[in-house]
Structure 1
Amino acid sequence: MAKQDRAIRTRRNILLAAAKVFEEHGYQAATISEILTSAGVTKGALYFHFKSKEELALGVLDAQDSQFAVPDRPCKLQELVDVVMLHAHRLQSDPMVRAGVRLAMDQTATGLDRTGPFLRWVELSRELLEKAQAQGELLPHVVPARTSEVFVGSFAGVQSMSQAFSNYQDLMARASELLRHLLPTVAQPYVTASLHLSASRGAEVYQETQRLVEQRPPQHEEAAAVG
């Protein structure tokens, strides 16, 4: 078990180092040597876990969503709101999330499959919208498969604007405003009126999810760290 624990910690340390380098330099300019220096591990240790720079980048893209999940909500549109606002909050402070977004949005990342995060976001949004539809939360014209792509594309654009204007410091306000504009076009009026859409919502959900993570048995935390 001790050997497994060390492997988990080493892998996590390498991913955090890679995230730092990718965020600072982008995918193309980042080098394995810089990641090795940042992680403080041998080349053999790195290549035991990741065979290439591409695998490292894909690991960062996957790891950004591995530890925090919004609990089930009775109102599925509120759950969708909370997913968005939690991600926005983490983007301001979590280096793994920041690097994952940098990689996903990096159009110069030749040879790197950047579709994974978008596909996961679209799938999660579609599932929540379908559940919301089954509960009567949506307007009759809404097609979840189409609306989910609009949501994801719009949020990606807001993230890019926030990064350019304020290095994500105004992202919570921008995300809140985006939801206030989009949700009335898909939600029943009584549902829209009940939603918590404030810019502080992300911090509130983060505190909730952090408490849940701390309450998990150790083996669950290890599984999350493996991603």
Structure 2
Amino acid sequence: MSRQPQDRALRTRATLVWAAAEVFAEQGYAGASVTKITERAGLTLGAMYFHFKNKAALAREIVLNQPGRVLPQHHSAGLQRAVDVTLTWAHQLLEDPVLLAGARLVMEQEEFLSQEQNSHQQWARILAEDLAEARERGELLAGCDQAALARLIVNACTGAQMHAQMATGRRDLPERVAEMWGCLLPGMATPEAVATIDLDSSRGKAI
């Protein structure tokens, strides 16, 4: 059986997601419409509704697939992995409309996501896994609550993104994230671990 129809369907779906991301990033969830998205994609409303029930389904697709787009270039583990995930996110956000849409949609996600699905919790779970590994490696200070730390890091990154947007159009976001870690690490990690962590913001750039 030919794969052409299946490949064409995948390309159409990807085109819709990309166009929706651009529209959401520019106009937010409330300002976006199915018509604007299909016009941006150069597709019909029929193609849209074949793949997605409504714009809420598109927004969910974009937000819930954010972590899969953030893949650090460096092999790392524990605390360094957590740092690398956030630095990679900060760099990719500058160029990837899907991640940029996620940053914009975070303020309106109650319109299309359940509380259990929201992006803050999604990212916190990912970072909590890295922090759990950091604990196993002896990198965290005794008494540190890794779940609370993960939430704090997500909140700090969200705040850094919002302030960077207002101040520089996000151009200095990687540096702000590295600065954030420089403040947090001494209060959460052993001195030996802090000394080994590479906070060079360029670690997040694609190799």
Q: Distance in 1 between matches of 2:88 and 2:174?
A: 9
Find the partner of 2:67 among 43, 52, 65: 65
**Retained in 1: the 8 A contact 2:72–2:204?**
no
**Secondary structure of the corresponding residue to residue 112 of structure 2:** coil
**Secondary structure of the corresponding residue to residue 94 of structure 2:** helix
Query: What is the one-letter code of the residue matched to 2:10?
Result: I
Q: Distance in 2 between matches of 1:63 and 1:113?
A: 13
Question: Unpaired segments of 5 or more residues in structure 2?
Answer: none
CA 1:13/1:120 → structure 2, altered by over 3 Å: closer, same or farther? Answer: same
Q: Distance in 1 between matches of 2:110 and 2:65?
A: 21
**Retained in 2: the 8 A contact 1:28–1:110?**
no
For residue 97 of structure 1, report the CA deviation from its aligned partner.
Answer: 0.5
Q: Distance in 2 between matches of 1:72 and 1:202?
A: 8
**Larger deviation, residues 65-74 vs 184-193:** 65-74
Q: TM-score, normalised by structure 2?
A: 0.92
Q: TM-score, normalised by structure 1?
A: 0.84
Q: What does 1:20-169 correspond to in 2, within 5 Å?
A: 20-70=22-72, 73=75, 75-106=77-108, 111-113=111-113, 115-169=117-171
Greater than 3 Å deviation, 4+ residue runs: 70-75
CA 1:74/1:83 → structure 2, altered by over 3 Å: closer, same or farther? Answer: closer
CA 1:120/1:110 → structure 2, altered by over 3 Å: closer, same or farther? Answer: closer
Q: Distance in 2 between matches of 1:49 and 1:12?
A: 10
**Secondary structure of the corresponding residue to residue 200 of structure 2:** coil
For residue 159 of structure 1, report the CA deviation from its aligned partner.
Answer: 0.8
Q: Distance in 2 between matches of 1:65 and 1:9?
A: 21
For residue 110 of structure 1, report the CA deviation from its aligned partner.
Answer: 6.0
Q: Distance in 1 between matches of 2:110 and 2:121?
A: 19
Identity %: 36
Partner of 1:177: 179
Question: Unpaired segments of 5 or more residues in structure 1?
Answer: 208-227
CA 1:144/1:14 → structure 2, altered by over 3 Å: closer, same or farther? Answer: same
**Retained in 1: the 8 A contact 2:63–2:102?**
yes
**Secondary structure of the corresponding residue to residue 137 of structure 1:** coil
Q: Deviations over 1:173-204 (max 9, x none)?
A: 1111001001111111111111110121211x
Q: Distance in 2 between matches of 1:195 and 1:122?
A: 20
Q: Is residue 190 from structure 1 mapped to residue 158 from structure 2 by the alignment? A: no
Query: In angstroms, what is the RMSD of aligned CA positions?
Result: 1.7
